[in-house]
């Protein structure tokens, strides 16, 4: 299955892109995707613990099971205000 | 209580005009408190002089997360109205980046709700800032 991944804030600099498509196996979780992305973009590893994960407009945890076509977002801690 | 709360959310690249916002305030006769907060870009960030902050939002998610916070506020306090404006894009020092207004019957809940909303915004609403030297 295919999901789209968006990077926000300085995660764009860490990965060198704002958006990619990523192929996963059926039943893979957000955690599997995160690990796959850290393997591809090693600069994300330093932010592993503070990375926020969202699917659509909702925050999700690493055990969230992804579906084909999901829009995933990875970003650092937020700083509004 | 919660279904009556008026909500107004604006995420904008336009300058925040506090005078215009105050002029459009509405309050029913049972309301006795208005707390408003203006967040302004400081000229010093982490000990270093800056000229501006460039705010970025994941706008669709930011709107959704703000609305979740508004729903939670309506459950916690007897709020008649909440209005919030957040600038995105480049905001120069001394210019406001955030304006919040809460209208309630009494001051205690207005102060508490305003503080809570801003604290939660800084925890969950996907907006980031990048300083500009």
Fold of A2-75: Ubiquitin-like (UB roll) (3.10.20)
- Domain limits for position B90: 2-132
CA of B69: how far to CAs of A57, B53, B120, B122, in Å? 14, 25, 7, 11
Min Cα separation A23/chain B (Å): 23
Tell whether B49 is within 8 A of chain A (Cβ).
no
Do the Cβ atoms of A70 and A5 come closer than 8 Å? no
Residue A9: predicted pLDDT:
98
Encode pLDDT of B27-62 as tens digits.
999 999 999 999 999 999 999 999 999 999 999 999
Residue A12: predicted pLDDT:
98
Q: How many domains does chain B have?
A: 1
Do the Cβ atoms of B82 and B6 come closer than 8 Å? yes
Min Cα separation B44/chain A (Å): 15
Closest CA to B104 of B4, B9, B34: B34
B4 band by pLDDT with thresholds 50, 70 and 90? confident
Q: For A58, name the nearest residue in chain B, comparing CA atoms only.
A: B61
B1 band by pLDDT with thresholds 50, 70 and 90? very low
| Rg of chain B in Å (alpha carbons) | 15
Residue A63: predicted pLDDT:
98
Tell whether A6 is within 8 A of chain B (Cβ).
yes
A42 band by pLDDT with thresholds 50, 70 and 90? very high
CA A55 vs. chain centroid, Å, equals 9
Please judge whether B58 and A8 are an interchain contact, meaning their C-beta atoms are less than 8 angstroms apart.
yes
Is 50 exceeded by the pLDDT of residue B18? yes
Average pLDDT over residues A35-64: 97
Q: Which residues of A are less than 8 Å from B63 in CB distance?
A: 57
Encode pLDDT of B93-129 as tens digits.
999 999 999 999 999 999 999 999 999 999 999 999 9
């Amino acid at each position: 299955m295919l999901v789209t991944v968006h990077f926000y804030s300085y995660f764009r600099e860490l990965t060198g892109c704002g958006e990619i498509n990523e192929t996963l196996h059926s039943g893979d979780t957000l955690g599997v995707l995160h690990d796959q992305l850290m393997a591809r973009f090693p600069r994300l590893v330093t932010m592993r613990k503070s990375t926020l994960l969202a699917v659509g407009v909702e925050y999700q945890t690493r055990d969230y099971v992804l579906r084909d076509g999901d829009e995933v977002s990875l970003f650092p801690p937020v700083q509004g205000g | 209580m919660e279904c009556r709360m008026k909500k107004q959310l604006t995420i904008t690249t336009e300058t925040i005009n506090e005078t215009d916002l105050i002029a459009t305030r509405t309050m029913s006769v049972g309301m006795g408190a208005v707390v408003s907060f203006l967040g302004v870009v400081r000229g010093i960030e982490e000990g270093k002089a800056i000229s501006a902050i460039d705010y970025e939002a994941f706008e669709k998610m930011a709107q959704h997360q703000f609305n979740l916070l508004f729903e939670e506020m309506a459950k916690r306090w007897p709020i008649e109205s909440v209005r919030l404006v957040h600038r995105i894009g480049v905001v120069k020092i001394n210019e406001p980046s955030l304006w919040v207004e809460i209208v309630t019957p009494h001051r205690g809940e207005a102060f508490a709700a305003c503080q809570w909303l801003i604290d939660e915004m800084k925890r969950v609403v996907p907006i980031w800032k990048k300083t500009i030297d």
